[in-house]
Amino acid sequence: MSPTKMADLGNQWEDLRKQARQLENEIDLKLVSFSKLGTTYSNNRDYQNASDTSPLLNKSNSDHMFDTMAMQIEQLLAKLTEVNDKMSDYTQNLGVNSHSAALLHTLQRHRDILQDYSHEFQKTKTNINTFMEREDLLGSVRRDIDAYKNASGGLNRRSDLLLKEHDHIRNSERLVDEQISIAMATKENLISQRGVLGKVQQKMVELGNRFPLLNSLMNRINIRKRRDSIIIACVVAVCLILMLLYAFH
């Protein structure tokens, strides 16, 4: 390779390195401002949450600033990516020699910087998007609350209605508990009465089984009483006859 061509290649490499460093500095400054925008957005949101009377962050201005800075950083990252690709093509055209190792090391360093910047940009962008979505949600909820206040006359009336409804529910639960207690007591009473009736029925069955024996015993007693009465009547009759015979003689 001629010295003139080597010099041209060297100048080309230096120009690419200058462009890469310039773009990296610009991206670094833009990322710092972009990160401050996210911090400011978060602090404003926290301050607004602490005071209900404070207006929300101007959504149109914040969205415009966010979109503009994000677009500028994306353009700078795209340019830096293009410069790194040109530097990669330069090292491939140069071939393998003692000088190419240092160039590859420099190219790798620029690629690492590009990767770090891209990662930081995506992280900050995601955080800001999350804050903005949360702010939109809070604003929507707050508008719904204000609309409800205007329609119903305020949250105090709603609280009173909720308390009254809560009292009605508790009274209903108390009545249901009392009815359940009465039903349980009635059930226990019926079970106790069933046990008593079962015992009475068992006694009646036992008495029914013993009744024939009692009937036979009563019959025997009656027969013996009748026999004793007959014997006594015979004795009395004989005595009367003897007395009459003695009297007439």
What gap in Å lies between CA 182 and CA 172, rounded to an integer?
15
69, 99 in Cβ contact below 8 A? no
Q: What are the structural domains of the chain?
A: 3-153 (1.20.1050)
pTM above 0.85, yes or no: no
Q: Is the pLDDT of residue 97 over 70?
A: no
Percentage of the chain exceeding pLDDT 70: 71
Q: How large is the average pLDDT for residues 66-71?
A: 86
Region for 57 from its dihedrals, namely left if φ exceeds 0, alpha if ψ lies in -120 to 50, beta otherwise: beta
124, 39 in Cβ contact below 8 A? no
Q: How large is the average pLDDT for residues 30-52?
A: 66
Percentage of the chain exceeding pLDDT 90: 6
What gap in Å lies between CA 155 and CA 189, rounded to an integer?
51
Q: Check residue 153 and give its pLDDT.
A: 55
Q: How large is the average pLDDT for residues 98-114?
A: 81
Q: Which of 39-53, 73-87, 108-122, 180-194 has the least mean pLDDT?
A: 39-53
Q: How large is the average pLDDT for residues 88-102?
A: 69
Please provide the average confidence, as pLDDT, over all residues in the chain: 77
User: Which residues contact residue 138 at a Cβ distance below 8 angstroms, ignoring those fewer than 6 apart?
Assistant: 45, 49, 56
Q: Check residue 56 and give its pLDDT.
A: 41
Q: Check residue 61 and give its pLDDT.
A: 66
What gap in Å lies between CA 28 and CA 81, rounded to an integer?
15
